[in-house]
Amino acid sequence: MPLSVASSTLAAMSQQSQLRDVQAALRTATDIAFDQEPPSGEQAEVLVDALRRALASAQSLSGGPGATGCREHPRGAVDPLYGDQEDPLPPGWGKCLLCNDRRRRAGRGLAGRRP
């Protein structure tokens, strides 16, 4: 198989995977949002997480490089501290707010928890 065919096949498979991720995340969000009771604290966190995953996957379907330069969150939010001279980010940190937030939480021992 020529390289160009293989790369286009991989791209199509990646888009199918991203679409499945969007669909799964939206199903989770729909299940929680349309339940009989308003979501509890933990359910609300799961709802927010599902919506973020759906958004990130949907944005990756649009292709092209994102503002963050992040492979995981190419179209995620840019950390407002990126480039700040008064309160700079630690060395090695990039523009991606989602990745930087995960690093901040891990540094405080809060990995996996929502504020």
More confident position, 29 or 11: 29
Note the pLDDT tens digit of each residue in 37-69.
999 999 999 999 999 889 888 877 776 667 888
Show the DSSP H helices in the chain as ranges: 3-33, 41-61, 97-107
Cα–Cα dist 64/52, whole Å? 19
Note the pLDDT tens digit of each residue in 66-105.
788 888 888 788 999 998 889 899 998 999 999 999 999 9
Asked if 66 contacts 76 with a C-beta cutoff of 8 angstroms, the reply is: yes
Write down the pLDDT at residue 15. Answer: 76
Give the other-Cβ count within 10 Å of 24's Cβ.
14
Please, what's the b/e burial string for 64-76 (b: 16 or more CB within 10 A of its CB; e: otherwise)?
A: eebebebeebbbb
